[in-house]
Chains A and B, each alone.
Chain A
C-alpha cells in the first residue's frame, strides 16, 4: 500500500486511509448523488414558485410525504446518539468501532428532519415567526425546542470523542487539512489530565443525550396525538414512536456500517460479531414494534368506534391495505425470518433485513399520517392522496443529499473512532476481565488472566 504520510506503518492505517486518500469510485458516487440532489432542489424551486399546489396534497390530506419524511428522518436520528450512549454507559466493549458511524447519522439526519418541516411550510419565508411570535402551547414549538436541543447535544457528543482522532490526523495531514485539524483538535496532546476530562465530558453527554433523544420522538408523536383525530389521539404514541425510531435507526446504522466496511475495507474492524450483536438488538426492536402496533390496532378494532374504525379498515382492508401488509411483512416477517435463524444471520442477511426494516418503517410513518387524514371524523370530505413528481423528487433528493453528506464526512473524519479502538486494545481487555471477575462469586480468580488472554 502506498502511503503519502511520513509516519511508519501503523496497524490502524486502514482507518486513516479513507481520510487521506480518495479513489475514483468515490467521485463517481458523489456525481450521481449530486445529480439526484440537484433534481430534488429543482423540484423544490418549482414548489417555491407555484406554491404547494404542485404537490398531491389536498383537503383532507393536507400533510403527506414531507411530514412522513420528517417523522422518518427524526426517527433515524435515534440510531446514533441514543444507541451509542446506551452502549457506552453499559460498557459494551463491542461498541468501540461503531459509535462514530452511529453518531454521525444522528447529527446529519437531524438537518433533514428539520428541513422536511421547512419544505412542508406554505410560507417558508416566515419561518422565523416561530421564534418571534411562538406559541408555547403548540406541539410544533415543542418540536422546535426539543430537536434543536437534540441537535446541539448530539453534535457535542459527536465532537468530543472526535478530538483525539483529530489530533492524530493533525500529525499526519498536510496543507489545509493540517490547519483544519490543528484548529479543531483544540490542542489535544493526549495527556492523562486531558483524557480524564474528555472521558468525564463524554460520560456526562451520554447520560444527558438519552432523555433528550427520548423526548424528541415523544414530542414528534405528540404533534399527532395532541389532536382529536381518530387513531392519532392515542396515549401510547410517545413510546410507540420512540420504539419505531430506535428500530429504524438501528437498521440505518447497520446499513451505514456495511457500506463503509465494504468501501473502505474495514472487515477487520467491523466484524460479523458486531453485526450479530446489532442484529439481536434489531430483532428485539422488531418484536417490540410489533407489540405496539398490535396493541394500537386491536384497541381501535375492539372499541368499535366509528371514526377509528373508518381509519382502521382503510388500513387493514381498504385502499391502504397493500402498504399496511407490506409494512407488516417488511418490519416483522422478513427480519424475523432472517435474524432469528443463526444460519441466515450473516452480514449479508442482516443488511437485507435492515433494508427491509427501513422501507417498512417509512411505510409505517406513511400509514400513521395519511389514512387518518383521508378519513376525518366528519365524513363529508374524504379523499385519497397521490404524491406528484415534486414530492418524489424532493424525497429522493433528500435521501441522496444525506448519503452524500455522510460520504463527505468519512472523507474528513475517521468513521471509526481510532483512539477508542486502541484504548479497547490496550485497556479494554483488562477492564472487561476485571469486570467479569467482579460478577462472579467468591474471591478473585487472580489478576494474571488478562495477560494470558492477550
Chain B
C-alpha cells in the first residue's frame, strides 16, 4: 500500500505563495476579516513562513512552505476523544468534520500548530463564494480543520484506478493541489515506499530533514536543506 509523502525543496521555493492560494481555493478554506486575522484567526492549511536569519551583512532569508506534516505517529489522532482525527491505512491523517466536537485537544497536541479552528461561521467575499469547490465540504462553526493532503483527490484517483482494476500509481496520478500549482516545482509528491518515485528518492537524499524530528512524530513531509 502506498505511503503518501511530500518533499519540499527549500532551495527552489521562491515564496510566491501559489500553493497557499491554491490550497484555499481547493479546500474552501474560509476567508476571515482583517480584524479577525489580526486577532490570530487566520486560516491557512498551507502557509509559507518567511524567516530572516542573522544580522547584516550575514543575512539570509528563507521561505518554508508548511502543510500538515502528516505524521506517521500523529499526536493529534491519539488525543481526539471522538476519533474525528483519523489516520488512514495509507498513512494519511484526515479529519471528519461531522464528528468533531470542537474540544481543540488536537490543536494543543500538534507540535507543528497546523490545525485550525472555525471560530465563527465560515465566510467568503462574494466572488469567492460563487466559485467554491464542489468537491469538498464546507465546515460548520466550531470544528477543527487542517490539511489532509487533499484527501478528496486521492479518493478520485482511487475510483479511476479501481475502474481499471489497478492501484493508484505512486506518482503523478494523485497530487495535492499545492503540488500541482507550485511554479518552481519546489513541492514533490508521491509514494514514499516506492523506490522509483522522485519523492522517495529525495526523501533519502542527504539534504533531507524533517521538522522537529526528535519528537518522534515521524512526519511524512520532508524538507531539502538549502545548498
Q: Is the CB of A52 within 8 A of B142?
A: yes
**Contact indicator per residue, chain B 72-83, by CB within 8 Å of chain A (1) or not (0):** 000100111111
**Contact indicator per residue, chain A 221-259, by CB within 8 Å of chain B (1) or not (0):** 001001111000000000000000000000000000000
Greatest chain A CB density within 10 A among B83, B103, B144, B215 is at B103
Which residues of A from 196 to 237 have beta carbons under 8 Å from B? Answer: 223, 226-229
For chain B, the count of residues having a C-beta within 8 Å of the partner chain is 43
Decide yes or no: A380 and B82 within 8 Å by CB, A51-B141, A123-B100 being known contacts.
Answer: no
**Contact indicator per residue, chain B 191-223, by CB within 8 Å of chain A (1) or not (0):** 000000000000000000001100101000000
Q: Does A2 contact B (CB under 8 A)?
A: no
Which residues of A from 46 to 97 have beta carbons under 8 Å from B? Answer: 50-53, 56-63
Q: Is the CB of A53 within 8 A of B109?
A: no
The main secondary structure of chain B at its interface with chain A is: loop
9 example contacts (A-B, Cβ-Cβ < 8 A) are as follows A62-B104, A62-B107, A122-B118, A126-B102, A129-B101, A133-B84, A135-B82, A227-B108, A380-B113
- List the A residue with the shortest CB-CB distance to B50: A380
Q: Is the CB of B108 within 8 A of A141?
A: no
Q: Is the CB of B82 within 8 A of A378?
A: no
Q: What residues of A have a CB within 8 angstroms of the CB of B83 in the complex?
A: 133-135
List the 10 closest pairs (A to B, CB-CB), nearest first.
A122-B102, A122-B142, A58-B40, A53-B120, A53-B119, A51-B141, A140-B81, A138-B81, A51-B120, A123-B102
Minimal beta-carbon separation of B111 from chain A (angstroms): 5
Q: Is the CB of B75 within 8 A of A135?
A: no
Q: What residues of B have a CB within 8 angstroms of the CB of A117 in the complex?
A: 103
- List the B residue with the shortest CB-CB distance to A142: B81
Q: What residues of A have a CB within 8 angstroms of the CB of B161 in the complex?
A: none
Q: What residues of B have a CB within 8 angstroms of the CB of A144 in the complex?
A: 81
Q: Does B135 contact A (CB under 8 A)?
A: no
Minimal beta-carbon separation of A318 from chain B (angstroms): 18
Q: Does A447 contact B (CB under 8 A)?
A: no
Q: Does A371 contact B (CB under 8 A)?
A: no
Q: What residues of A have a CB within 8 angstroms of the CB of B140 in the complex?
A: 123
**Contact indicator per residue, chain A 108-135, by CB within 8 Å of chain B (1) or not (0):** 0000000001001111101101101111
Measured between alpha carbons, how far is A377 from B75 in the docked complex, in Å? 14
Q: Is the CB of A138 within 8 A of B141?
A: no
- List the A residue with the shortest CB-CB distance to B39: A58
